[in-house]
């Protein structure tokens, strides 16, 4: 279990993490989400004792990382996959870690096989692709067979087979009662992997909930409607305070209604004497809920491609927080 209480980190005048409190529980996969510069990596570094908090505390199984008796057997972390001497082979890198922590050499062979590195285990890491480097980083995290895994962007650079492997691995480890805490920018993958999400923006916790609760609580609820009386229903919906969007696919009998629940739309249709061919509540995806929640927390904004013909105004960024 990972527990943070009032965790704060400042770099001069810049507050990277701002008084956050959360718990990452064993037995489930917890996704850690947030825009670039939100404070995710800084938080993970403080968990691992690589950055000292300005205020507050964070513990793993009740102790700060620096006080763990056998760190690799309690916490495995992938924070920077490329933090490996390029002249060493994957096998040598893992053997050195094993030797310094009293881990049997047999375990090195096990994690090499588990992560699919057999064919490149004796090759120099400096020639590895991004994906193979990620696999080596995960192998190092698993080396001590830890009860807690902290993985920062573990699927970065992996092919579809590798992404599926990481997903299954994370869920399997959680099913064994381990604590699995991972960050990712791939919302679709987090939706398939995580049971719980913690969302951070500008150093503050924006959400801490199960994936189901998080998506269901998204304020943008949409109802898809098909009706031959689209114009009449649109008038009734807008008069009741709802918002109507007509899809750009040329279908004239379809509307998307926000601001009203499906039963209310159905009652409006009945009152207006409009026949309904479809009335379907559309649940928000994790990506939609995340984008809505973090809209005001994004430091790096890009231009909507639909406005490609217009020059975007210049923006000022503050530099990415780690």
pLDDT higher than threshold 50 for residue 322? no
* Structural tokens at position 215: 């998506």
- For residue 173, the model assigns a pLDDT of 95
φ/ψ of 90, rounded to 5, equals -60, -40
Dump pLDDT digits (tens) for 24-60: 999 999 999 999 889 999 999 999 999 999 999 999 9
Check residues 29 and 295 and name the one with the higher pLDDT: 29
The highest-confidence range among 67-71, 96-100, 170-174, 188-192, by mean pLDDT, is: 170-174
pLDDT higher than threshold 80 for residue 243? yes
Dump pLDDT digits (tens) for 148-187: 999 999 998 888 999 999 999 999 999 999 999 999 888 8
For the chain, the straight-line distance linking the first and the last C-alpha, in angstroms and rounded, comes to: 23
- For residue 308, the model assigns a pLDDT of 47
- Percentage of the chain surpassing pLDDT 90? 66
Lowest mean pLDDT among 241-245, 248-252, 269-273: 248-252
pLDDT higher than threshold 90 for residue 138? yes
Q: How far apart are CA 281 and CA 257, in angstroms?
A: 9
Check residues 282 and 13 and name the one with the higher pLDDT: 13
Average pLDDT rounded to a whole number, residues 216-224: 76
φ/ψ of 207, rounded to 5, equals -160, 145
Three-state SS string over the chain comes to CEEEEEEEEEECCEEEEEEEEEEECCCCEEEEECCCCCCHHHHHHHHCCCCCCCEEEEEECCECHHHCCCHHHHEEEECCCCCCCCCCEHHHHHHHHHHHCCCCHHHHHHHHHHCCCHHHCCCEHHHCCHHHHHHHHHHHHHCCCCCEEEEECCCCCCCHHHHHHHHHHHHHHHHCCCEEEEECCCHHHHHHHCCEEEEEECCEEEEEEEHHHHHHCCCCCEEEEECCCHHHHHHHHHHCCCEEECCCCCCCCEEEEECCCHHHHHHHHHHHCCCCCEEEEECCCHHHHHHHHCCCCCCCCCCCHHHCCCCCCCCCCCCCCC
Q: How far apart are CA 153 and CA 186, in angstroms?
A: 9
Local confidence band at 145 (pLDDT 50, 70, 90 cut-offs): very high
Average pLDDT, the chain: 88
- For residue 163, the model assigns a pLDDT of 92
Dump pLDDT digits (tens) for 297-318: 766 555 555 444 444 444 433 3
Dump pLDDT digits (tens) for 83-129: 788 889 999 999 999 998 899 999 999 999 999 999 999 999 888 88
């Amino acid at each position: 279990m990972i527990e943070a209480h009032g965790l704060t980190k400042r770099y001069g005048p810049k507050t990277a993490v701002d008084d956050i409190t959360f718990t990452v529980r064993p037995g489930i996969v917890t996704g850690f989400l947030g825009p670039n510069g939100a404070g995710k990596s800084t938080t993970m570094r403080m968990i691992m004792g690589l950055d000292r908090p300005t205020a507050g505390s964070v513990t793993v199984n009740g102790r700060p990382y620096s006080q763990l008796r056998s760190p690799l057997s309690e916490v495995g972390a992938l924070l920077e996959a490329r933090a490996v001497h390029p002249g060493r082979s994957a096998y040598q890198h893992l053997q050195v870690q094993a030797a310094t922590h009293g881990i049997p050499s047999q375990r090195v062979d096990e994690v090499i096989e588990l992560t699919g590195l057999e064919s490149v285990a004796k090759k120099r890491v400096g020639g590895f692709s991004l994906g193979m480097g990620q696999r080596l980083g995960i192998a190092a995290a698993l080396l001590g067979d830890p009860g807690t895994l902290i993985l920062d962007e573990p699927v970065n650079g992996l092919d579809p087979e590798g992404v599926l492997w990481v997903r299954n691995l994370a869920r399997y480890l959680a099913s064994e009662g381990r604590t699995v805490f991972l960050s990712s920018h791939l919302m679709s993958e987090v939706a398939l992997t995580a049971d719980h999400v913690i969302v951070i923006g500008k150093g503050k916790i924006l959400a801490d909930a199960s994936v189901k609760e998080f998506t269901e609580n998204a304020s943008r609820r949409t109802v898809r409607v098909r009706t031959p009386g689209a114009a009449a229903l649109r008038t009734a919906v807008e008069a009741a305070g709802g918002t109507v969007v007509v899809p750009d696919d040329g279908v004239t009998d379809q509307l998307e209604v926000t601001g009203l629940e499906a039963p209310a739309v159905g009652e409006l249709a009945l009152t207006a004497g409009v026949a309904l061919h479809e009335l379907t509540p559309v649940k928000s995806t994790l990506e939609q809920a995340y984008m809505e929640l973090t809209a005001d927390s994004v430091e790096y904004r890009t231009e909507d491609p639909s406005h490609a013909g217009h020059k975007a105004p210049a923006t000022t960024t503050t530099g990415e927080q780690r």
